[in-house]
Amino acid sequence: MTVKQPRSTSWELSVRQRLLAGDESALSEIYDQYSSFVFGLAARVTNDRRAAEDVTQEVFVTVWERPAVFDPERGSLRSWLGTLAHRRAVDFVRREEASRRRAQREAELAALPPDIEELATALALAERVRVAVDELPPDQQAAIRLAYFGGKTYRQVADVLGIPEGTAKSRLRMGLRRMADTLEREGVDQWR
């Protein structure tokens, strides 16, 4: 299997340099570029506005405190931020029983006014990612959605879907592989 590494943009490299040098404006630039992505992801997984704010804060503070951890050779800045945010959001889900107030909070989120430029990017990206998800066989799709957005472990996924654990593991892996193929074919990493 050939692995195509996304090329880092000069912006990503220079912003990392500036973070390392302690240049505060680099952090605000990253925040402005990616806060909707991070907050939206965290809000979707946690279903809790306060928790999503905490996750967002933690993610950007980590960026500031430990910029050297971002390795441009291994993925884009967006991907690193997404990983940090998802990890924290999942931790929250596993700590709390957030589902109780789910309905009420979903209504809250739906009422938020969108930022136009950010929305344009988000729509452009979301469209491509949605294609990649929609192309998955339904059983893989269901498993990935439960794990990623539901914050469930593969054992819980197996439980919910009534399938053996081994099958859950392989659906997650095959589904992600297939998504990676589609996204690479679509050139999504160009969009960062």
Partner 1 sequence: MILDHEEANELLGAWALHACDEDEGALVEAHVATCDDCAAEADRLRNAAAWLGALESVPPPSRLRASVLRRARDLRAPEMRRATPAPATPATLMAESVDRLDTLLRHLAPADWAAVTLTGFTVQDFVAHLTAAASLINWRLGLLAEDPGRGITDWEPRTDVFLGRHRGLPPAATLAAWREQVAVLQSFVTGAGVLDQSIEWQGWDTPLQDVVTIHGFETWLHTDDIRRAVDRPIAAPSPPHLAIMCELATNLLSVAMRAHGVNRRTRLVLTGPGGGDWLIPLGGSEIGPPDAIVTADAVAFCTLVGGRLTPDVLPHRVEGDAGLARALLDTATSFAVV
Q: Restricting to residues 63-122, name those near partner 1 by CB under 8 A.
A: 64-65, 74-76, 78-83, 85-87, 90, 109, 112-115, 117-122
Q: Which is nearer to partner 1, 1 or 103 (CB)?
A: 1
Q: Which of 131, 161, 163, 180 binds partner 1 (CB under 8 A)?
A: 180
Q: Which of 172, 79, 170 is nearest to 129 (CA)?
A: 79
State the nearest-atom distance from the C-beta of 135 to partner 1, in Å.
13
Sole binder of partner 1 in the list 100, 101, 102, 177 (CB under 8 A):
177
| CA-closest candidate to residue 83, choices 118, 29, 37, 51 | 37
- CA 175 remoteness from chain centre: 16
Tell me which of 25, 95, 107, 138 binds partner 1, using CB under 8 A: 25
For partner 1, give the closer residue by CB, 3 or 103.
3
Compute the least distance from the CB of residue 192 to partner 1, in Å. Answer: 6
Do residues 187 and 145 lie in contact, with contact meaning Cβ atoms separated by under 8 Å? no
Number of residues that bind partner 1 (CB under 8 A): 100
List the one residue from 72, 96, 139, 153 that touches partner 1 (CB under 8 A).
153
First-last CA distance in the chain: 23
CB of 131 to partner 1, least distance (A): 11
160 is a site residue for partner 1 (CB under 8 A):
no
Burial category of 152 from C-beta neighbours within 10 Å (exposed 0-12, middle 13-18, buried 19 and up): buried
Tallying the residues shown for the chain, one arrives at: 192
- Classified as helix, coil or strand, 102 is helix
